[in-house]
Amino acid sequence: MATMRIGTIRPAAGATKNPKRRGKGAATGLGGTAGKGHKGHKARSGGSIPAWFEGGQMPIQRRLPKRGFTNHMRVEFQVINIGRLADAAAGTVVDAAWLKEQRLVRRPGPIKLLAGGEIKVALTIKVDAASEAAKKAVEAAGGKVETPNLQG
């Protein structure tokens, strides 16, 4: 018995067929127009129809009215309510790394502290922004909120 080598491996008999040889004469059954019919856009070179084309009907992006705008200067904050920090030990420094470790934020980006819930432990919280009510609630519990000076 001959040894099997990687170069001798072949598909099983009858498992593959030769590709259709389009445009190679009448004997192939696909000569002349190569299966594209006669003339027309799809018979041409590069004649594919874009997915958004609606056959000459007024396209949907032109039928619908324009509404509103997108503010490209908008800052998309991840929000954290102070009630989510109630389980932290007193004296903990809460920053982006700590919040990610606790799975309270999932993606990178600016974080904003909001006043939802109650907090009874003194924490040092370092976030990008905080509401006035959240600052007051944290300071009432004996902690402090540090935000960078974002004016400028």
* pLDDT tens, position by position, 57-79: 999 999 999 999 999 999 899 99
Q: Which domain holds residue 121?
A: 78-146
CATH, residue 114? 3.100.10.10
Instruction: Please determine, for residue 26, whether its predicted confidence score (pLDDT) is greater than 90.
Output: no
Q: What pLDDT, on a 0 to 100 scale, did the predictor assign at position 23?
A: 87
Q: At residue 152, does pLDDT exceed 70?
A: no
The total number of structural domains in the chain stands at 1
Residue 83 has pLDDT above 70, yes or no: yes
Q: Are 128 and 110 in contact (CB under 8 A)?
A: yes
Cβ neighbours of residue 9 closer than 8 Å, sequence gap 6 or more: none
Place of tokens 């009630």: 83
What mean pLDDT is predicted for residues 21-35? Answer: 87
51 found inside a domain: no
Confidence of residue 150 (pLDDT cuts 50, 70, 90): low
Burial class (CB in 10 A: 0-12, 13-18, 19+), 145: buried
Q: In a 3-state reduction of DSSP, which class is residue 13? A: coil
pTM: 0.56
Residues 90-148 pLDDT 10s: 888 999 999 999 999 999 899 999 999 889 899 999 999 999 999 999 999 999 999 88
Q: Is 9 inside a domain boundary?
A: no
Asked whether residue 17 is domain-assigned, the answer is: no
Specify if 72 maps to a domain. no
Q: 129: part of which helix (H) or strand (E)?
A: strand 129-130
Give residue 129's pLDDT. 93
